[in-house]
Copies of this chain bind each other. A is one copy, B any other.
Amino acid sequence: MQLILSEILPVIRIFRETIYRRYAFDMNKTNSTPTMKDVAAEAGVALGTVSKVINGLPVGEAYRVRVEEAVRKLNYQVNSYAQGLKLQKTRTIALLIPNTMEPFYGALAYHINIALLKRNYRMLLCSTDYNMGQEQEYVKMAQQNKVDGIIGLTYNPELVIEEGTPFVAIDRSMGAQIPCVASDNFAGGQMAAEKLADLGCKRVAFLRTGASLTNEPNKRKAGFENGCLSRNLDYEMKILNDGDPYEGFDEFLASHMQGGKLGFDGLFCVTDGIAYYIMKVLRRMGLRVPEDVQVIGFDGTRNVGGDYICSTIVQPIPEIAEMCVELLLQENMPVKPPLVCLPVAYAYGGTTMES
């Protein structure tokens, strides 16, 4: 049986309207899931005893066996909502992230998910879509849902976090009370500059977009400048405003062409996405990468095949994930480090000369 969308919709309606009555009777509570009470009755012991067995507390061996048998027989599972209500702990954390489609976010979500599951925590995913209202909405939802904590990569500059909810921020500092985890963006920028110098560049440029919000990735610029200065590398900057189209870079590059040659032999792009765009522009301009111009991006984005899309400064995503979770779940740590920067690494991706 195979159905096509346009055909199935009316079918669904018909199903609902005509067949419902016939089945209504077994919509009752006949197959309600068993509770501890049921297990206790089945095993012929008291409720408390069952609870103890479930939680591994000491209990008479004979009782143990009987309870375990009853559990198996009824296929009992604890209701973690009731448990959470009782313990005021839900073993659930919420992840606020723009989406899971962009490679960096997708990878981050995955690694955080795994890190939490390893510790037997569940993860509520909240895709914010860069919508600041949404972000605040989710924080409220997370709190109302009594999650044990929140990890958030957010853009709302005035996000309000309840006092009671542990929060770890990614890539943006949100006050001394809230730890922030990020790559060592400054070192990454510096690394890019030094790498270009090492590879023989004499005159380089920094291309970047989105200067409005103050966040950690902004430090890439300062790091790059620092690296250029320390290596006596001549540099220029082109910084686009946040929503501006990348076409602004086209003009910038065009204005630096003279006699069919570009005035730069090295470019540092603040993200791999921009690097990718720039490479298309350069190709259109008849310039070869890396022979005429070397390009370094930032993030460590990989293609479907697993190759880097360009030479790049790789963010340590698994380590960021692990650190967020560690910081969030760490009990007995009333004073948490305000900012943790994790080391980045350069990776060759075909857009620089091999060293």
Contacts and interface: CB of A to CB of B under 8 A. Distances in A.
A225 to B, nearest CB: 16
Contacts of A276: 303-305
Interface stretch (A43-51, A64-72, A139-147, A228-236): A139-147
A81 B84 contact: yes
A290 B76 CA distance: 59
Q: How many copies does the complex hold?
A: 2
A285 interface: no
A218 to B, nearest CB: 13
Contacts of A2: 184, 186, 339, 341
B140 A77 contact: yes
A77 B330 contact: no
Interface string A308-344: 0100000000010001000000101111111111110
Interface string A8-40: 100110011001101100010001010000000
A279 to B, nearest CB: 9
A338 B110 contact: no
A256 interface: no
A109 B351 CA distance: 32
Q: Give the residue among A12, A19, A92, A162 with the most B Cβ atoms within 10 A.
A: A12
A125 B140 contact: no
Contact of A125 (B1, B15, B113, B301): B113
Contact of A114 (B122, B129, B303, B338): B129
Interface residues of A, number: 83
A62 interface: no
Interface string A81-124: 11011000010100100011101001101100110010000111
Contacts of A130: none
A277 B305 contact: yes
A330 B11 CA distance: 13
B124 A16 contact: no
A90 to B, nearest CB: 6
Interface of A: 1-5, 8, 11-12, 15-16, 19-20, 22-23, 27, 31, 33, 75, 77-82, 84-85, 90, 92, 95, 99-101, 103, 106-107, 109-110, 113-114, 117, 122-127, 129, 140-141, 143-146, 162-164, 184, 186, 272-273, 276-277, 280, 301, 303-305, 309, 319, 323, 330, 332-343
